[in-house]
Structure 1
Amino acid sequence: MSDTEYLTRAEAVLAAVERTVDDANDGDHDIDLERNGSVLTLTFENGSKIIVNLQPPMKEVWIAAKAGGFHYRFIDGEWRDTRTGTEFFSALTEYATQQAGLPITFSTP
């Protein structure tokens, strides 16, 4: 994947996360969202955080959550965990739901 293709796909991930948090905040959620360059920080009501950031040199998207740190590469049309193969948005849904204490569903842009 070229650098340009990586950035296009990875930025779409960040935009999808931002959109989902905005939509969730219109409902029952109260999630603080801060973007600093290619880093998104989601802060939940209980003070816990999830950080999603881009790693252009490795062409990866990373998640840091209470559950741990996870690296994702674009494989066969999806962002997949480099160790388990878990899809990015389903994993983020699980981590965010655990930390928020309410269901929140992230999906592919």
Structure 2
Amino acid sequence: MEQYHQLSDEVMDMLLEDLEELIEDHGDPSFEVEYHSGVLTLKLGDKGTYVINKQPPNKQIWLSSPFSGPKRYDYTELDGSWRYSRDNKPLDELLNEELGPTFDKLIQLSLSSSKS
């Protein structure tokens, strides 16, 4: 459980930092990101809201996307990524694909853990 918290906190912190920078660069006042008690909320104005949160009982990170709906991500030690078991797609890859059109630029989030 301690390893789960360390890895999930690391990914949530990286995500928050990257999203804050994206929003600042984009300059749309209706876009905002906040993180409290293991829940990251990314508000994208009329494009919708993402909610990404830690789920300690399951050792997962859950995503609710306005584009692709809900997904549950498990940590993969092989490459340090968080992957959705149904399609094996990493969390950062899905976010890059979905956020690119919203921010009208290529997004290259990398959420692989440096610790295993």
Q: How many residues align?
A: 106
- Equivalent position of 1:33 in the other structure: 33
Name the SS for the 1:35 alignment partner.
Answer: strand
Tell me the CA shift for residue 43 of structure 1. 0.2
Root-mean-square deviation (CA, aligned residues, Å) is 1.7
Secondary structure of 2:89 counterpart: coil
1:8-61 per-residue CA deviation (whole Å, 9 max, x = no partner) reads 100111111111112112312533112120000000132510110000010000
- Give 1:101 shift: 4.6
Instruction: State the alpha-carbon separation in 2 of the partners of residues 62 and 95 from structure 1.
Output: 16
Task: Tell me the TM-score normalized by structure 2.
Answer: 0.81
In the alignment, the residues of structure 2 paired with residue 70 and residue 40 of structure 1 have an alpha-carbon distance, to the nearest angstrom, of 15
Q: Is the contact between residue 63 and residue 71 of structure 1 (CA under 8 Å) also seen in structure 2?
A: yes
Q: Which runs of 5+ in 1 are unaligned?
A: none
Partner residue of 1:24? Answer: 22
Deviations, residues 51-97 of structure 1 (Å, cap 9, x unaligned):
10000010000110021111110112221112110011111222223
| Contact 1:50/1:96 (8 A) holds in 2 | no
Q: Does 1:102 align with 2:100?
A: no
The reply to whether residue 71 of structure 1 matches residue 69 of structure 2 is no
Whether the aligned pair in 2 keeps the contact of 1:61 and 1:72 (CA below 8 Å) is: yes
TM, length-normalised to structure 1: 0.86
